[in-house]
Chains A and B, each alone.
Chain A
Amino acid sequence: DTGVSQDPRHKITKRGQNVTFRCDPISEHNRLYWYRQTLGQGPEFLTYFQNEAQLEKSRLLSDRFSAERPKGSFSTLEIQRTEQGDSAMYLCVTGWGTEAFFGQGTRLTVV
């Protein structure tokens, strides 16, 4: 257990529905990242927060995706109008100093 908690662990949704994932980082970690991982691939960067400020967004993060980190604590990732191509593992990563700590991920299946 790295101390990074993600909820839910699994989500099955119908195409076109909206979904929201939550990440609770280790309390003193000021950096928080969201990554997406598809089967057989390494994780791909989606977005990065330093405290409450969203400093970087990948081109993978289409306008259907939005992420927030109010008060620099937990973070949410919302996907609107889900598509089958959104099916993946969504990973939250937090860091303090230079080491990265991963949550267990949320596995999204869009049917």
Chain B
Amino acid sequence: KQEVTQIPAALSVPEGENLVLNCSFTDSAIYNLQWFRQDPGKGLTSLLLIQSSQREQTSGRLNASLDKSSGRSTLYIAASQPGDSATYLCAITNAGNMLTFGGGTRLMVKP
């Protein structure tokens, strides 16, 4: 059974800092890994999708990496802004087309 863990559970940083969110998973037989953003009381917005054959994806100030062999992914946010404050979730799609989520990292970027 796939288990996904996100560390830290919560993070508070001053505006302008670069930061890294971590996601680890136990079963490396994955189809892809997605990073999502969730604002309070809202649904999830997909940020980046990394296929199992890829090592990283970039979108604007976001960069996500994937290392299947070690069961790890990171989401790098450059030059953080208060508008980046949200919960960030990683999710694995495995061979059964099932999405398994981590518990999320709650990010607060202070002005």
Give the interface of A toward B (CB within 8 A): 2, 6, 31, 33, 35, 40-45, 48, 50, 56, 89, 91, 93, 95, 98-105, 107
Contacts and interface: CB of A to CB of B under 8 A. Distances in A.
Interface stretch (B58-66, B68-76, B78-86, B89-97): B89-97
Contacts of A101: 46
Given A91-B44, A98-B49, A100-B46, A42 B104 contact: yes
Contacts, number: 65
Contacts of A41: 103-104
Contacts of A50: 97
A44 B31 CA distance: 19
Interface in B18-77: 31-32, 34, 36, 41-46, 49, 51
Given A41-B103, A45-B99, A98-B51, A104 B42 contact: yes
B98 A91 contact: no
B97 A31 contact: yes
A89 B43 CA distance: 9
B93 A100 contact: yes
Nearest to A93: B99
Nearest to B106: A40
Interface residues of B, number: 27
A105 B93 contact: no
A47 to B, nearest CB: 11
Given A98-B51, A100-B34, A102-B45, A42 B98 contact: no
7 contacts: A42-B102, A43-B44, A45-B100, A99-B32, A100-B99, A101-B46, A105-B42
Nearest to A42: B101
Given A98-B31, A101-B46, A102-B43, 10 more contacts: A2-B43, A41-B103, A42-B4, A43-B101, A45-B99, A50-B97, A56-B96, A89-B41, A102-B44, A107-B41
